[in-house]
Structure 1
């Protein structure tokens, strides 16, 4: 998988992020382009984290892994610099959230390895093109994200609950959404649950753990997809001395096009 010729939308969006002009969620930005969740860890934890991703491919589909100390990701974009090109980062120390900067250049180290993980924002374009409404985009909100009672498969110090995104849909649209998103395994694929949120440990849809709440209207079903924020829950469990992630909803915009990730 190699980045082809980026559209002006991806370049413009990254430039706005890099200069601090855009510091919010990236849902709806550079619509045709793949967006990625970001996890940056010291090299001595990178092997365990890669195994965690391999054991949990639904929430953690890996799009790229950097060399230690290298802030560039040429397979995702010729000019991408992971130190500046995410709207908002999260800095973790011993599993506790320590800061949410818009630039991590001052924190960069020679032993840091970057993982970019597929994001459901990519399959949203296919849903929209099929005529399926997405309420959080219509309302210019971040997608709602919830921690579940579903355990992920552990690897080394990494373990924790599956995190999911939720989009309300009419039953017929939910069936169509299953068909469409199953074509995109590199960005979470088909839903992991449809219907009663209590069955996966979600008590109140109006109070997401991350992102913004959206209403589920009468006659609609909540539809849940595995989410790339899952590694952040695993990091809270592992409590590494130091690591960096993206802030939920504030993604890395790549030069890859969403249609390139379709498996059929």
Structure 2
């Protein structure tokens, strides 16, 4: 029996290296800070019977659900996002939902795949982090090797069919000058959530404790910093919990599909 040598992963890794590491089971955690030049994507995989409703949900909520690609039913190779890209194997960890309940977090979907599955790839804030870092803005979770902190808010998303629920946000602490610069940088890239939706007092959007994120890892907010909040692609998972579809699949929060598209193509060079 032969074993595959470990694929070393770092900020300069290629998208294909990250995907292959996930495919081989060598990468099962978050992708924050990896392959910094490449666009990362959230995933939602649903039966064709729910695809039209979910497409409308994305169209009505473009900040948390910016569409990068939508597959044909049963298609698992998204060639518009990358060569040698297989959505069944190339995400470090998935989430399987039944009736709105999380039932499993596998690292491979091959045995679960069905010919009626439609895959939605949505823009991810890990992509605009490349632009923030290039602009000299420090990101504490990246420096500490952590997943970004994510929170459910009291802001309702617009309903489409059975899909509705609270907006989920990511949070990054920044000094005021950096927050202003971050708005300028991210407002140029609606494909990956665009500008922040809130800066400052988290209680105004229903967040009571920044040290207890709903997803991801907590990071400290220093006294001279402001919490800056962006719409997050985990929002569909909150909508799935409300809609309670019989069966669907998403990525695990922070465990993204790394595509061959370059952040430079989004204006983040």
Q: TM-score, normalised by structure 2?
A: 0.94
Match of 2:93 in 1: 88
Match of 2:233 in 1: 228
Asked if the contact 1:37–1:252 (Cα under 8 Å) also holds between the matched residues in 2, the reply is: yes
Q: Is 1:237 aligned to residue 242 of structure 2? A: yes
Instruction: Give the 3-state SS of the residue equivalent to 1:202 in structure 2.
Output: coil
Of residues 156, 170, 191, the one that matches 2:175 is 170
Cα distance between partner residues in 2 of 1:76 and 1:100: 24
Cα distance between partner residues in 1 of 2:268 and 2:260: 18
Asked if the contact 2:130–2:268 (Cα under 8 Å) also holds between the matched residues in 1, the reply is: no
Instruction: Give the 3-state SS of the residue equivalent to 1:154 in structure 2.
Output: coil
Cα distance between partner residues in 1 of 2:174 and 2:43: 28
Q: Is 1:59 aligned to residue 67 of structure 2? A: no
The answer for unaligned runs of 5 or more in structure 2 is 1-11
The answer for unaligned runs of 5 or more in structure 1 is 1-6
Cα distance between partner residues in 2 of 1:12 and 1:219: 38
Q: Is 1:79 aligned to residue 84 of structure 2? A: yes
Cα distance between partner residues in 1 of 2:147 and 2:140: 10
Cα distance between partner residues in 2 of 1:149 and 1:174: 22
Asked if the contact 1:185–1:263 (Cα under 8 Å) also holds between the matched residues in 2, the reply is: no
Q: Is 1:102 aligned to residue 107 of structure 2? A: yes
Aligned length: 258
Asked if the contact 1:194–1:223 (Cα under 8 Å) also holds between the matched residues in 2, the reply is: yes
Of residues 23, 27, 30, the one that matches 2:28 is 23
Aligned residues: CA RMSD: 1.2
C-alpha distance after superposition, 1:191-216 (max 9, x if no partner) = 00000000000000000000000000
Cα distance between partner residues in 1 of 2:18 and 2:92: 10
Of residues 144, 148, 153, the one that matches 2:149 is 144
Of residues 70, 81, 91, the one that matches 2:75 is 70
Cα distance between partner residues in 1 of 2:221 and 2:17: 34
Match of 1:43 in 2: 48
Asked if the contact 2:128–2:268 (Cα under 8 Å) also holds between the matched residues in 1, the reply is: no
